[in-house]
Amino acid sequence: MSDIRPLTVWNEDEQFFYDTVLDFAREKIKPLTAEMDETEQLNPSLPKQFFELGLMGIEVPEQYGGSETSFFMSILAIEALSTVDPSCAVVVDVQNTLVNNAFLNWGSEELKAKYLPQLTSSKMGSYALSEAGSGSDAFALRTKAVDKGDYWELTGQKLWITNAKEAEIYIIFANTNFELGYKGITAFIVEKDFEGFSIGKKEKKLGIRASSTCELILDGCKVPRENVLGEVGKGYKVAIETLNEGRIGIGAQMIGLAKGAFRAALAYSKEREQFGKPISSFQAVQFEFADLATQIEAASLLVYNAARLKGMGRKFVKEAAMAKLMASRVAQKVSSATIDLFGGYGFTKEYPVEKYYRDSKIGTVYEGTSNMQLQTIAKVLLAE
């Protein structure tokens, strides 16, 4: 796919920003991708470079050290990084669409002044909602928070938490009153060195292996009383609204992945010869590329539309769900097809497409499974 977008979709500043991030990804991340995937570790040099490039506070106002641009810029950064390594993209994605946005939308002025300058300059954030018994049913969480007067005491376990190993600031959801059900859920800001907090098992994963996914253990974790994000009992609103935005980020990750796999296959098709000529000269292969390109373009426009709606302050819940659903499906289809186009080489680690294929699967799972996206779309449609 071309890196040039119609100006009706991207303006010149957005195009320049995308190109800058894409150049960075190709120059600095691509040489490290295979090793990071093999070792299941994010190269320690990269987070510092993300901060220096301004990728960890894209929407955050300048007064807190951010770039003060738009949500759409965050989406472009995620897409550009994903064309090279979706593992690195999810680091930037979680920081911007989940953690920073939660602070911007729900944090008191004191909390924003304290934490956003850290999140834009040096410290990674993490967003901890999921538990063993609360995946799609996110509000079935069992982590409890007890009011101890001067502080809150959190007890429980969080599972599958992205950026958990590298993060230093965590947004953790716990229930302050189980009798109220989901209306007891509250969002807390937890720092890595708080008493009673620790990082547990690091998961070994099929894809996005360089991105850490860990268990968080809260063993009577002491959280200052003022570290409630939003209001007590309003954590369910924080979670719902933030995840709606986050789904657009996952859509961007998936279309970036699809474009990266597509470009690799397109270039290889001009080099690989069968029956004495490049496979790109065969009509069947040409039609395959035409079909894949059309699906990528359609998914991209869904993602861009959802991002624009969000940026304009308009309703975007249905559109975000559609974008994530379609982009994750297209990513899987494109990455699978590119392995076929590479032939036997596509099944080996010598070429990048097998990694794109493995990385694509998570798009149908995290930040709301495909079935949950279908449920959201249907619910909004029936309410219209």
User: Which residues are known to be catalytic?
Assistant: 367
- Which two tokens mark 176? 């302050």
142 near 135, Cβ under 8 Å? no
- Which two tokens mark 57? 């506070």
Q: What is the DSSP string of 300-363?
A: HHHHHHHHHHHHTT---HHHHHHHHHHHHHHHHHHHHHHHHHHGGGGGSTTSTHHHHHHHHGGG
Q: Residue 59: name the closest of 44, 42, 76 by CA.
A: 76
Question: Which of helix, strand or coil describes residue 202?
Answer: strand
CA 179 to chain centre: 33
Number of H helices, E strands in the chain: 12, 10
The residue type of 127 is: Y
Which residues are CB-contacts of 26 (< 8 A; sequence separation ≥ 6)? 84
CA 155 to chain centre: 27
Question: Which of helix, strand or coil describes residue 90?
Answer: helix
Q: Determine the length of the chain.
A: 384
**Cβ count near 27 (within 10 Å):** 10
Which residues are CB-contacts of 131 (< 8 A; sequence separation ≥ 6)? 140, 141, 142, 143, 156, 157, 158, 159
